[in-house]
Amino acid sequence: MARPLDTSTPLGREADSFLEALSRTASPATVDAYRRDLAALLDFLDRHDIGDPAALDAALLRRFLGGERSRGLAPRSLARRRAALSRFAEHLMACGYLDHNPVSLVRTPRVPRDLPRPWM
């Protein structure tokens, strides 16, 4: 299981609340993956002294995902991380922190498709 989230900021508390709600409908593996994704986002935001949920915007999320790509995260992992951020942004919208989903303005990473194996 991933490490617990830092809930000392409003954003951390909302991330924890989101994961709690997600755990009622998603598999434990999905919740664990989303927890890791949100922990990475919260670490990034902490390094930039951002703790307000309303501060999330497309430019900030592009910088975060670009940094993750530079660190060597695989395209599939980046796509999942973007999906986790989108679901979290929807939670923040429902709570009144955001009026739109900023992740919708962030391009989805291209995920290479496996070629079919020749039949023999």
Per-residue pLDDT tens over the stretch 79-114: 999 999 999 999 999 999 999 999 988 887 776 677
Which CATH number is 10-105 given?
A: 1.10.150.130
Task: Compute the mean pLDDT over every residue in the chain, rounded to the nearest whole number.
Answer: 89
Mean pLDDT of 62-85: 93
* Residue 47 phi, psi (nearest 5): -65, -25
Within the chain, residue ranges assigned H as helices are 10-22, 28-47, 58-70, 75-94
Q: How far apart are CA 50 and CA 56, in angstroms?
A: 9
Per-residue pLDDT tens over the stretch 46-56: 999 998 999 99
Per-residue pLDDT tens over the stretch 3-59: 677 777 889 999 999 999 999 999 999 999 999 999 999 999 999 999 899 999 999
Burial class (CB in 10 A: 0-12, 13-18, 19+), 97: middle
Domain residues of the chain, as ranges? 10-105
